[in-house]
Structure 1
């Protein structure tokens, strides 16, 4: 399941970063933690697919402005669906029944009732004086006392206390402020239970829960030390570092109480160090390696030559470029050690004299030689490998550094990362890709028109054929792998059958993996779960399209859904029962090479002949043939999906006669893949806001 962190007007960049990183430390791999904006909250069917919605610190008035129209969805998500609402600081004000902030101070005061009312009472603050917007001047290391009597200190900056918290039967106080607050923490004329000012609450709301904190226990001390204020470093950051273990234990306890499945091991509670990016190709393609290196340095507008490297400045990042794996790996790795991944200078190492591929000890999680062994020697696509054990994001690195991208020889680069610490998805969502997820981005070029037919190229089809290429790579991995129950969700997500559904209905797959009728269309949910998605970024450059195709595929990592190799184990149970040989686990290097091989073939066919010859293959593997859907923007008309247009790649849906699933009215609708959201679980298409 997913945990969504709101990232829109009202939030601060720091509050989102702290919330996301802490939640990943606590919850992955059991949950996929990502961000969501206000538009997606309004238009996407998130409430049917997530476990929790998190509002971080910032200011709650913009939260109201952005989300007021969907307050009923928030309430239904918690009360009826059993979802969890988490509010830190501003998010806690937002989730309460009333806000009383800085009353009597005209420059700061915010007072008024709130609609969500997960905590029915008043969130009053700042609990301690000194708050200033966009400043750390009022921040402090506040002491919290827990129900067992233990104490620890955590970050505070303008948060609330919860008035009369002990008077509500649906409220459990999880922590209290030890210091005397600056505002009153009770208003009841007759206090029956006064144990001190409430700082953190767990509220029972129908089937769900609301976890609200006035202070910021989600703030990570090591991320607070980038400041020139010695007082803040000494009185806040250094103090908080002493309580880091207690902070994590507190968070684990309160999140467990709220209903989350949490990690017990905090040994990996910080993002791993980035590692150098290693450039390589096979011996007969060393020309493209040298071309990439020379172009990268010559194209950079700002560059400085040092003894061991050349430092260049691109649009988003600085890079240090080295020659020679053996001679410079330790130096390049040392530059990255203990640096924040998104802010670090990136290091790139090209092969030196008499070197072709990086030594295996530098790529312990990826066999570069195996990748090139399975790559078609005639391939252009994927012939230049840029590999890093730990990277920020394979997509973002290329997209945001156009100088780097323009330096790549045409249609050649595959960027692979074993671990992504700033993985990126559609809508700007970010997450950590752990080991076991095949994370890659391939750069391909397309002409504006076909050299063979002179027809204009519709670049939207690249997302279709790229996912088709990945499916083909899976099925062509070897005999028996075609039984893997994977399907394409329009336009470019990969779904696999849920193991729970497979066992519940005792489905048999041997010889039937390609059967389109394994599952009735009405049973797509809960029959299928997402295991991969493709992110497409297209840039127009003079006389061609430059397209980045990023993909993260669950190969061995089951959280939060399932993985390909889990399905290999399930297929092997069937094969063993009929005395067939076991299938070997899928290896990431071979799968990625087969993906590149298939992608090159499909791209050539598409450029030469258009989408016509490719669409039948796509239809054989997608979930939607003859699916009946509802068109929200057309008076809730019912329609049946019949295909995709060959000009602009639009979804074709024919309107059905009322009460029929087979008779048509004659009306046909064309829907854009990037302008509509298809919820296969609800059979619903709704037009996104532009």
Structure 2
């Protein structure tokens, strides 16, 4: 997962920020779009995980002040700085480094474009003029001068308008009726909002410096056409019958034909700058269009000339499609991002367009609806216990819980199969016994639902002035859907009393439960063979346990420990009975598998250890920190439930390591025991602490030819890659572990995994690795690999996970059984790195065993402590290596083991490898 960061510090207009976030989330649904402040830009290591940084509309002068402010890492920064012992960091310097050195992309809009230019010239000769150099980013080396249109007034929207611009590269399209009447070149015209922005003066003269003009303000001679197309956002009186809306003054002559948008090549990266506001929607009913304007005057349906109003609406819909299409093309083709159009644009469905505005019937961009969650199990007896536990949870916590449609629930007779409803900490949940009829009706209910009742107002500013230093004026009201408040429907398939044990396959087009079950059973033998390989976890015998559990566990766990029972109560005391992936939940479209389990403990308490929640797509997918995104199809996503006794609380750190190992070993099993399968599996490695990367060809060296290769060559450039020891690696999987105290004698752990199985770039996937392998062996069918389905991969990973987890519990939480395999899988054996000044241990600094190690020292990674899971490093000249047993021993055993060799231990929580810089540092 790659980030898109949007600056949200002083100077940013709240309405510009809101629409910037919405447009980016619409066009970049598989990226984590989040806000960021100047201190984070200055101090945190965000560059490696970020694809695009955006400086939105607002006020230029606060940007100058805030982004130039010096930030220090220490709380005692003033003293440190005065003593001259620390160098402060400035946000704008990190932005330049991100673009020039890391090859990142930058987008500046209106005030962001003024700031990113070499010189800002605003309203020269007026009382509010701003005229000065901007020696900070200088992505556009010339002057950004404005306002292009007259009428700008502080603390208002006077001067705001919708304008037509000229595309340098035409976007083929049929003309609207108005354009046809006037003979306008429809392919050349592009419409968007404007308010106080500038033009990039004489941009063509900077062509040799990497500046390309993308859009121009209309040329001289086209003013009359432009005036007729402009929409005045500030008129307050309705238009009289038969009279055209008030016309705005034309653009200032000096700006006709000047650049409205430029793309600048800067070092290894790109900077996309706009003098206009392309982030605001053009839909006729959007508040951005209706702001301070009479509907009758602009697009109102109650106009005396209804046909004219309808034509206005149709034309704005047409231009909204062009706005999104052109922006998608620029983001994808010029910045190399994985950009997508919303369904209503692709399908040309005007009815769906009506639902694409926040606050109507669905979230912005026509996102799909949340669908019912399917609950099944391969063990009917265990599932009966789970259903009874769910029924008790619903009874004990009974509450009046809203439905998507009360009328549909009562009319369709769905109340008959209702097990219970309750409100948990995060979600409202309805439980249904699944019959064929009930399942069909619930899916229909969810697909046709209106989300109006679950929308919340968003406070927005009604100004977007480039250098406005006044406080925000009263805000316009828009709404966005709170997906957590939308009720969740669960369909339980007990397979008893004539009820089906599986849903109709037509309801689940992207997940085959029967196929998953078949592979889960089939891979039992493969995992047993894996356990018996030399150096594997099941052959480890230091504690006399090993062997995957059984009698070897009884000495550690008391009879009261609940093992495989539901998380909230009694059951088998034998952890060897744990079955990972036996009880499953599945949703084609959910909020977040991690949130549903982690934030609803009453709901979670009804399920046994090993329960796994799969999803095809997540609308609020969760990653480390605050990362959220809409996940792409083809990514295998699941969250599994585990727990450990209170005595093992300190061992929970190891679950992320075991999760990564299970992914790597599971891929190996899914690919099969052939030489080809082993070859592809060997390319997949662990990046500490919680990522899985795959070796990929360096661009231009992938052996691609015609057909598949040509398609791959046209794919977006890879992101989240690094080079290590002469090889290139791309991110293939990520892991998130959450833990909570159950209130009894256990800690409950949720391991969330996302593996790129079938999805394409911007990183890589198992499918791509298989295709690359097959292309390298043309005509040798015996050595070709089959595509691995998500069901097959999921079953293989969970089978491995089950074996590893039992061994982990049997060893008392010692990582020793897994050292040999982990050492072969990870990327960091004897890797020389720099210890970053912000690499944190539990007490706020690196844990050092021995004499002090200066921050910034070069050290060598050797292993992980087997008792606490801390990353171990030694001085470069130390005799300890990765293959030394001391590198992986417990911290308590170091007494006579290291001698004079010094060891530094780093916690995985909060630290990560910056592989581009060969540095261990705090994770953003």
Q: Scaled by the length of structure 1, what TM-score is found?
A: 0.80
- Deviation at residue 8 of structure 1 after TM alignment: 4.7
Give the counterpart of 1:78 among 71, 94, 99.
99
Matched, 1:241 2:442: no
CA distance in 1, matches of 2:332, 2:610: 47
Give the counterpart of 2:166 among 146, 163, 175.
146
Partner residue in 1 for 2:137: 116
Give the counterpart of 2:673 among 479, 484, 488.
479
After the TM superposition, which residues 274-285 of structure 1 pair with which residues of structure 2 at under 5 Å, given as runs?
274-282=370-378, 283-285=380-382
Does the 8 A contact of 2:337 with 2:762 survive in 1? no
CA distance in 2, matches of 1:225, 1:277: 33
Does the 8 A contact of 2:582 with 2:610 survive in 1? yes
Partner residue in 1 for 2:177: none
Does the 8 A contact of 1:86 with 1:212 survive in 2? yes
Deviations 1:99-136 (A, max 9, x none): 67799999x99987642232342465696768888x9x
CA distance in 1, matches of 2:734, 2:656: 10
Does the 8 A contact of 2:685 with 2:694 survive in 1? yes
- Deviation at residue 652 of structure 1 after TM alignment: 0.5
Does the 8 A contact of 2:200 with 2:260 survive in 1? no
Higher strand share: 1
Partner residue in 1 for 2:261: 200
Does the 8 A contact of 1:199 with 1:215 survive in 2? yes
- Deviation at residue 651 of structure 1 after TM alignment: 0.6
- Deviation at residue 601 of structure 1 after TM alignment: 2.5
Does the 8 A contact of 2:7 with 2:54 survive in 1? no
CA distance in 1, matches of 2:373, 2:750: 18
Matched, 1:528 2:729: yes
Partner residue in 2 for 1:381: 580
After the TM superposition, which residues 222-261 of structure 1 pair with which residues of structure 2 at under 5 Å, given as runs?
225=286, 234=295, 235=298, 240-252=316-328, 254-255=330-331, 258-260=334-336
CA distance in 2, matches of 1:604, 1:151: 64
Matched, 1:467 2:564: no
After the TM superposition, which residues 226-625 of structure 1 pair with which residues of structure 2 at under 5 Å, given as runs?
234=295, 235=298, 240-252=316-328, 254-255=330-331, 258-260=334-336, 267=346, 270-282=366-378, 283-291=380-388, 293-298=390-395, 300=397, 302-304=399-401, 307=410, 308=414, 312-333=422-443, 334-337=445-448, 339=451, 342-343=482-483, 345-351=486-492, 354-375=499-520, 379-405=578-604, 407-450=605-648, 457-477=650-670, 478-480=672-674, 481-483=677-679, 484=681, 485-500=683-698, 523-524=724-725, 526-542=727-743, 543-572=745-774, 580=782, 582-609=784-811, 610-625=814-829
Partner residue in 2 for 1:515: none
Cα 1:102–1:184 change in 2 (3 A) is farther
- Deviation at residue 486 of structure 1 after TM alignment: 0.7
- Deviation at residue 260 of structure 1 after TM alignment: 3.6
Structure 2: 5+ residue runs without aligned partners? Answer: 70-89, 169-184, 219-225, 233-247, 301-312, 348-364, 452-479, 525-576, 705-721, 838-853, 885-897
Cα 1:195–1:215 change in 2 (3 A) is closer
Q: Identify which range, 74-83 or 163-172, moves more after superposition.
A: 163-172
Partner residue in 2 for 1:509: none
- Deviation at residue 81 of structure 1 after TM alignment: 5.2
Partner residue in 2 for 1:626: 830
CA distance in 2, matches of 1:410, 1:643: 34
Cα 1:619–1:261 change in 2 (3 A) is closer
Does the 8 A contact of 1:675 with 1:687 survive in 2? yes
Matched, 1:209 2:288: no
Q: CA RMSD in A?
A: 4.5
Matched, 1:666 2:901: yes
Cα 1:25–1:442 change in 2 (3 A) is same
- Deviation at residue 36 of structure 1 after TM alignment: 6.4
CA distance in 2, matches of 1:316, 1:214: 42
Deviations 1:540-559 (A, max 9, x none): 23232222221211111121
Deviations 1:119-159 (A, max 9, x none): 342465696768888x9x77965113214664444345x55
The secondary structure found in structure 1 opposite 2:901 is strand
Does the 8 A contact of 1:275 with 1:388 survive in 2? yes
Does the 8 A contact of 1:84 with 1:258 survive in 2? no
CA distance in 1, matches of 2:65, 2:386: 53
Cα 1:14–1:495 change in 2 (3 A) is farther
CA distance in 1, matches of 2:684, 2:624: 21
Partner residue in 2 for 1:678: 913
CA distance in 2, matches of 1:228, 1:146: 21
Q: Identify which range, 62-71 or 639-648, moves more after superposition.
A: 62-71
- Deviation at residue 22 of structure 1 after TM alignment: 4.0
CA distance in 1, matches of 2:397, 2:288: 31
Structure with larger Rg: 2
Cα 1:525–1:298 change in 2 (3 A) is farther
CA distance in 2, matches of 1:43, 1:375: 46
- Deviation at residue 371 of structure 1 after TM alignment: 2.0
CA distance in 2, matches of 1:223, 1:466: 49
Q: Identify which range, 601-610 or 309-318, moves more after superposition.
A: 309-318
Aligned length: 658
- Deviation at residue 561 of structure 1 after TM alignment: 2.3
- Deviation at residue 222 of structure 1 after TM alignment: 6.8
Does the 8 A contact of 2:370 with 2:591 survive in 1? yes
CA distance in 1, matches of 2:392, 2:280: 42
Q: Scaled by the length of structure 2, what TM-score is found?
A: 0.62
CA distance in 1, matches of 2:163, 2:699: 48
Structure 1: 5+ residue runs without aligned partners? Answer: 451-455, 507-520
CA distance in 2, matches of 1:230, 1:194: 26
Does the 8 A contact of 2:280 with 2:288 survive in 1? no
Matched, 1:169 2:191: no
CA distance in 2, matches of 1:208, 1:536: 34
CA distance in 2, matches of 1:138, 1:648: 62
Cα 1:142–1:273 change in 2 (3 A) is same
